[in-house]
Amino acid sequence: MRLCYLIGYPVDHSLSAVMHNTAFQELSLGFRYELRSVSPETLEAFVSHDLKATEVRGANVTIPYKVSLVKHMDEVDALAARIGAVNTVVNDDGWLKGYNTDGLGALRALEEAFGDLHGAKVVILGAGGAAKAIGYHLSIVARELIILNRTLSNASELVEGIARYSECRASLSAHLLNRGCLKEVLKDADIVINATPLGMSPNVGETPISSDLLRPGFLVFDIVYNPMRTRLLKEAEKAGAKTLDGVSMLVYQGVESFKIWTGREAPEDLMRRAAVKALGADLG
């Protein structure tokens, strides 16, 4: 039996185990996926010992370790190195290689919901690992990319990091995540992405955008998937905006991780159904 983990702190909200174990069973693979809540004090020891164990094939990485885990890898894939964050790890005989599938998952979900992203003005809330991945991929296709974060220096650092690469085509800027800045940048935005944990279970009453700033005419994408319909999405829908929940990104990034670990194509539809069922929702 080969093990795959989700490493984070906390991880109780995650649907990754349900999703991946369903896929492993469907393809009769000798794999099992387990959640591992790892405290910051024990992270280095976990990575250097537990993650390198013979029976471990790899791991997914979630809040708050997507950025900090980079330095603990023996090798980092070129895309993950550009992004500066890791969400997937492979263990090859004790050699840990980090990858990033978050941006690929988000981009696919956005293209399905919005269409052609070329020429779009995109606002991203947050500057953590997920924002880094999404921001990098969008900078290649979007017209304008605006990063808002409660700590301005982190938003500025993200913008500077993306701007280094020749493939970046978007106009970039960083701002504080506050009402005034939000009001200004949302006036003519095409896409708004919540890449913060605000609204995630159990704190379902939180939202990064007050309802009076929401309007028809743009797509609101919340990468939080538990709950599937966050307060932000409910209020955006009520305001007449188009919405995209975080389940598609969860599934699509998981599909890419699955391929990396197993070398097999993932049963995508089955993974989606398992995730939605676990949320108590209905695919319709």
Q: How many other CB atoms are there within 10 angstroms of residue 29's CB atom? A: 15
Q: Residue 239 has what pLDDT?
A: 98
Q: Residue 13 has what pLDDT?
A: 87
pTM: 0.95
The residue ranges of every structural domain in the chain are: 2-100+248-278, 103-245
Residue 168 has pLDDT above 90, yes or no: yes
Residue 284 has pLDDT above 70, yes or no: no
Sign of CA dihedral 279, 280, 281, 284: positive
Share of the chain above pLDDT 70, in %: 99
Q: Residue 59 has what pLDDT?
A: 98
Q: Residue 280 has what pLDDT?
A: 86
Q: How many other CB atoms are there within 10 angstroms of residue 95's CB atom? A: 11
Q: Could you say which of 52, 66, 234, 238 is catalytic?
A: 66
Q: How many other CB atoms are there within 10 angstroms of residue 40's CB atom? A: 10
How far is the CA of 30 from the CAs of 3, 25, 35, 142, in angstroms?
9, 8, 17, 41
Pairing relation of β-strands 171-176 and 144-149?
Answer: parallel
- Identify whether 234 is a catalytic site residue: no
Residue 29 has pLDDT above 70, yes or no: yes
Q: List, in order, residues 6 or more apart from 66 with CB less than 8 Å away.
A: 85, 86, 87, 102, 128, 129, 130, 132, 133
Q: How many other CB atoms are there within 10 angstroms of residue 12's CB atom? A: 10
Residue 251 has pLDDT above 90, yes or no: yes
Confidence of residue 283 (pLDDT cuts 50, 70, 90): low
- Look at residues 84, 86, 177, 79 and name the one whose alpha carbon lies nearest to residue 125: 177
Residue 282 has pLDDT above 60, yes or no: no
Q: Which two tokens stand for residue 248?
A: 């598609």
> Hey, what CATH topology would domain 2-100+248-278 get?
Rossmann fold (3.40.50)
Confidence of residue 281 (pLDDT cuts 50, 70, 90): low
Q: What is the largest CA-CA distance in the chain?
A: 54
Q: Which two tokens stand for residue 67?
A: 């950025």
Please write the tens of the pLDDT for every residue from 63-115.
999 999 999 999 999 999 999 999 999 999 999 999 999 999 999 999 999 99
Mean pLDDT, range 268-283, rounded to an integer? 88
Same fold, 2-100+248-278 and 103-245: yes
For domain 103-245, give the CATH number.
3.40.50.720
